[in-house]
Structure 1
Amino acid sequence: MSKHTEFIAFFIRQKLQLPALYIRTAALLLLALLLLRHRTAAAAGVVSGIHTCLGTLIPSLFPFILLACLCTNSRAAQVLFRPLSPVMRHVFRLPACAAPAVLLGLTAGYPTGAKITANLYATGKLTREQAARLLCFCTAPGYAFAAAYTGSLLLRSERIGLNLFFACALAPLLLGLTLSRFAEKPEKSLKSPESAPGGIVSAVQDGIKATVSLCGFVIVFSMLLAVLHDAGIFQYLCGFLSRFGLTVPLSGALLTMGLEITAGVTQCIYWHLPVYFLAFGLGFSGVCIHLQIFSFFHKAGLPLSKTRYVLARFLNGLLSAAFYLLLSYFLPASTSVAVETSPLNTAPMAGSAASSLALIALSMFFLLTCILRSGKTPSKICGGNSTGKMLQ
């Protein structure tokens, strides 16, 4: 009887998988035809994506991605984030090692917190439940993208940028506090985990891989948006959404932000849409960011279903919009005229004060890591053969 039951279950699974396989095949064929038919637009989209990566993403995010990789394998991170241990255990009900994921994830930029979470989950420092819960509230645009890029550069208003930054940081914190009410407190660890051997070298390698992966997704989605525009599919989708009461500019901005947040922010500002739509898009972060985060878990596996993760991001977007409306009520700011030219032609973080402070902090963190790993004073590190031992 059990053999017949297993056969029936296997038959049902195969039948359910066939429609999905046919849909994927049709989508692949459609994509191939679109790329062949609109290859000029695809090439222009690739160029635009590369320009975005070189001018915006790499200068602003790579230092923080490298810092995130260092935080997961270094004993220096345990010293720096030790004061947050009671907060993590009693408030968020997570182990102390999750503090860098929360702090850097909300301040440094989108993939930083997820990258730290993936590393902690892969090394067994977080359980599946803890990693799934942490992944729901450790992702935010950060100060560089929300305040400096979107607010100061594009909207030309530091106050709006700060409101966006705090709104997108408060929303995941509220979500994390809510989710922690249903979890148990982790056991207090008395023994500090050892740092991974070759942490500095592996952190640089992991940071480069993560940055290349991030840029690859941005380039792909930039190419996809260009092809959809050239083929008229994007305009058709905007017209379809306009039947439900949405304006065409709003439909286009929401579709673009749903796919790739950088281009979506540009469209939203170009059409002078309300800023709380920007807050929603920054909180949701877009499919491009979601796929980047999924790629971090390709070895250990995603600790929660993709549907639940997307729903958590959608709720995070709604909370971000609500927090922005609340902050803008108490801290009003005058809206400036958005830049008319493409913001992709500038590199806002290439020589800014925020970038300089980030590089200085990263250098100090690197030096502290070397001191704690070698067990020597800075004067001894600078002389003799300690440099070779430090890098081993």
Structure 2
Amino acid sequence: MKKKTELLRCTILLLISLGAGLALSLFPDTAARGAARGLNVCLSVLVPSLFPFLVLSVFLVRSGAAALLGKLLEGPMRFLFRLPGCCAPVILMGMAGGYPVGARGTAALLQAGEIDEKQARRMTLFCVNAGPAFVLSAVGAGFLHSPRAGGILLASSLSAGLVLGVLLRGHDPLTVQSRSISRAPAKAGDALVASAFDACRSLAAMCCFVILFAVILEFLSILIAPGMMLACLSAVLEITGGCRDLTAQGAPLWLFAAALGWGGLSVQLQILSLPGAPRLSYPRFALARLAHAVLAVPFAVVLNAIFPPEITAQEVFSNTSSQPAADLGGSPIAAGALLVCCAVFLAACYSPRFGAGRGKKEAHGRL
């Protein structure tokens, strides 16, 4: 029975591969358009909005600065999430930087020995949030032409993520304790160089998935007539194009909140393929993303009723095919978090503890 199942699986994969190869051969222009569209998203959205946060999230862990910040937030972290305080900076960076940043910081904590495998898996389930740069600028101001709508969506997504983290905290007291053996903090200069290379490697993997799903969506747009069904399918597969397509169909705001909570299959595969990521089955991760999407809906409905965004049908549909009007990197919340982490970076550079006791002068010379 097992052999038959494996044979059936291999046969299906072979047919899919042959079909994909045939489609690429018959419609090379379609594939090229999709790849160009995905590459444009990478260069205009992904790299400028994520790279600084990826570098800083890993640097906070490698330099030992996360442990320093964690001491201040040890109590709230243990009470809310049953996690050590060193996880607080990573959760903050995940909320300010975007989908993969929190997951990459979690992997760095695991590699540094600050948390165990069980804690890393739990963090990966809820430290996945859409960043302010994308939600406020691209979705709110760019697609919906309403900064207030972007604020509602951001608040809904972040609130749902925090609630999910509380629900996943469990009751095992051992999960509160971090590992007793952890790696010594690296020198600030070494940590910065390693973090930059790590961010480049992570971004390369993310861009590959974005381009791949852009090609898939380009072919699906040929097979499926434009409409709400195609827009929802687009949101399930890739969040940027999905939000654009939902805007074109006049989707309600709660549907955007659900899409942002889900994150898209492209983002999910990016996270699971990150270097050093904890071993986590996709069904469990997908269930957590679905729970995030469901939790975000009531937040969006309530906030939309209290603070209704000023959107007219003419504003929404007049420029649905245009690029986002706002600068994708211009988020005050993300900029504030970035400045705070830069201050921590400077403090770590000149701290005797994180400079291995060699003093400011030698640390400055190594940088």
TM-score (norm 1): 0.83
- Identify which of 252, 269, 273 aligns with 1:295: 273
C-alpha spacing 1:193/1:13, structure 2 compared with 1 (3 Å):
same
Residue 290 of structure 1 deviates from its aligned partner by 0.6
Residue 23 of structure 1 deviates from its aligned partner by 1.3
- The answer to whether 1:277 aligns with 2:255 is yes
Residue 289 of structure 1 deviates from its aligned partner by 0.2
Aligned positions of 1:178-217 closer than 5 A: 178-184=167-173, 185-187=175-177, 194-196=184-186, 198-217=190-209
Residue 176 of structure 1 deviates from its aligned partner by 1.3
Tell me what 2:355 maps to. 374
Tell me what 2:100 maps to. 111
Render the CA deviation track for 1:105-139: whole Å, top value 9, x for unaligned: 22320001111112222343322221221111110
- The answer to whether the Cα contact below 8 Å between 2:141 and 2:150 also exists between their aligned partners in 1 is yes
Cα distance between partner residues in 2 of 1:152 and 1:345:
7
C-alpha spacing 1:318/1:85, structure 2 compared with 1 (3 Å):
same
Q: Secondary structure at the match of 2:176?
A: coil
- The answer to whether the Cα contact below 8 Å between 2:34 and 2:215 also exists between their aligned partners in 1 is yes
- The answer to whether the Cα contact below 8 Å between 1:60 and 1:355 also exists between their aligned partners in 2 is no
Moved more, 123-132 or 269-278: 123-132
**Identity within the alignment, %:** 32
Residue 208 of structure 1 deviates from its aligned partner by 1.1
Residue 303 of structure 1 deviates from its aligned partner by 2.9
Render the CA deviation track for 1:117-168: whole Å, top value 9, x for unaligned: 1222234332222122111111010211112221122222222111111100
Q: Secondary structure at the match of 2:73?
A: helix
- The answer to whether the Cα contact below 8 Å between 2:143 and 2:320 also exists between their aligned partners in 1 is no
Q: Secondary structure at the match of 2:254?
A: helix
Q: Secondary structure at the match of 1:96?
A: coil
Tell me what 1:14 maps to. 3
- Identify which of 247, 250, 257 aligns with 2:228: 250
Cα distance between partner residues in 2 of 1:332 and 1:85:
37
Cα distance between partner residues in 1 of 2:8 and 2:181:
52
- The answer to whether 1:59 aligns with 2:48 is yes
- The answer to whether 1:387 aligns with 2:359 is no
- Identify which of 159, 165, 184 aligns with 2:154: 165
Tell me what 2:81 maps to. 92
- Identify which of 41, 51, 57 aligns with 2:30: 41
Residue 97 of structure 1 deviates from its aligned partner by 2.2
C-alpha spacing 1:371/1:343, structure 2 compared with 1 (3 Å):
farther
C-alpha spacing 1:201/1:224, structure 2 compared with 1 (3 Å):
same
Cα distance between partner residues in 2 of 1:178 and 1:20:
36
Q: How many residues align?
A: 359
C-alpha spacing 1:146/1:31, structure 2 compared with 1 (3 Å):
same
What amino acid is aligned across from residue 173 of structure 1 in structure 2? Answer: L
Cα distance between partner residues in 1 of 2:262 and 2:118:
22
Moved more, 190-199 or 19-28: 190-199
Tell me what 2:302 maps to. 326
C-alpha spacing 1:229/1:358, structure 2 compared with 1 (3 Å):
same
Q: Secondary structure at the match of 1:264?
A: helix
Cα distance between partner residues in 2 of 1:228 and 1:314:
23
Tell me what 1:136 maps to. 125
What amino acid is aligned across from residue 187 of structure 1 in structure 2? Answer: Q
Cα distance between partner residues in 2 of 1:103 and 1:263:
26
- The answer to whether the Cα contact below 8 Å between 2:72 and 2:85 also exists between their aligned partners in 1 is no
- Identify which of 295, 309, 314 aligns with 2:285: 309
Q: Secondary structure at the match of 1:94?
A: coil
Residue 35 of structure 1 deviates from its aligned partner by 0.9
Q: Secondary structure at the match of 1:91?
A: helix
- The answer to whether 1:228 aligns with 2:220 is yes
Cα distance between partner residues in 1 of 2:332 and 2:280:
38
Cα distance between partner residues in 1 of 2:113 and 2:356:
26
- The answer to whether the Cα contact below 8 Å between 1:257 and 1:264 also exists between their aligned partners in 2 is yes
Tell me what 1:70 maps to. 59
Q: Secondary structure at the match of 2:227?
A: helix
Moved more, 339-348 or 200-209: 339-348
What amino acid is aligned across from residue 306 of structure 1 in structure 2? Answer: Y
Residue 100 of structure 1 deviates from its aligned partner by 2.4
Q: Secondary structure at the match of 2:92?
A: helix
C-alpha spacing 1:23/1:332, structure 2 compared with 1 (3 Å):
same
- Identify which of 134, 144, 154 aligns with 1:155: 144
C-alpha spacing 1:127/1:385, structure 2 compared with 1 (3 Å):
closer
Residue 190 of structure 1 deviates from its aligned partner by 8.4
- The answer to whether 1:25 aligns with 2:14 is yes
Cα distance between partner residues in 1 of 2:206 and 2:105:
15
- The answer to whether the Cα contact below 8 Å between 1:85 and 1:95 also exists between their aligned partners in 2 is yes
Q: Which runs of 5+ in 2 are unaligned?
A: none
TM-score (norm 2): 0.89
Cα distance between partner residues in 2 of 1:177 and 1:359:
25
Please provide the CA RMSD for this pair. Answer: 2.6
Residue 293 of structure 1 deviates from its aligned partner by 0.5
Cα distance between partner residues in 1 of 2:178 and 2:12:
49
C-alpha spacing 1:137/1:345, structure 2 compared with 1 (3 Å):
closer
Render the CA deviation track for 1:2-58: whole Å, top value 9, x for unaligned: xxxxxxxxxx44332221111111111111111111110111111111111111221
